[in-house]
Amino acid sequence: MSTRISIPKICQHCGNSFIARTTVTKYCGDNCAKRAYKKRKRDEKIKASIEETKQQVQGLQSPQTVQTPDILTKQFLSIQGAAKLLGASRWTIQRMIQRDQLKSAKLGRRTIIARSEIDNLFN
């Protein structure tokens, strides 16, 4: 290893120019090297913490998207779906249909309720 080389460089930490003795030197001295190292470690920690927060946020969001299934987006609901949406029992829904409070249609043997009919209940 040659000890004679001297390369003008710019410290990557403080931006001062200095003369490097090896081609791989990045900092003007031990202090800058240490500080840069600490800063890098801190940045890594901050990055990790941001990632962690992101994952927590995603973790909070994903159960919601799993639990808000088709019921909220479907145009037609089964009696059970309507009951779930309204927080009522399916018997309540069936009674409302029988009393013409809620319009329904037959789809084969199944009774379906238009989502808009449920929205109409609140108009």
Secondary structure of 95-120 in HEC code, one letter for each residue: HHHHCCCCCCEEECCEEEEEHHHHHH
- Minimum distance, C-beta of residue 25 to Zn ion, in the bound complex (Å): 11
Of 14, 33, 97, 114, the residue at the interface with Zn ion (CB under 5 A) is 14
Query: Sign of dihedral through CA atoms 98, 101, 105, 108?
Result: negative
- Minimum distance, C-beta of residue 53 to Zn ion, in the bound complex (Å): 32
d(CA 78, CA 84): 10
* Residues 57-86 interacting with Zn ion (rule: CB under 5 A): none
115 binds Zn ion (CB under 5 A): no
Of 32, 77, 93, 113, the residue at the interface with Zn ion (CB under 5 A) is 32
Of 1, 2, 3, 13, the residue at the interface with Zn ion (CB under 5 A) is 13
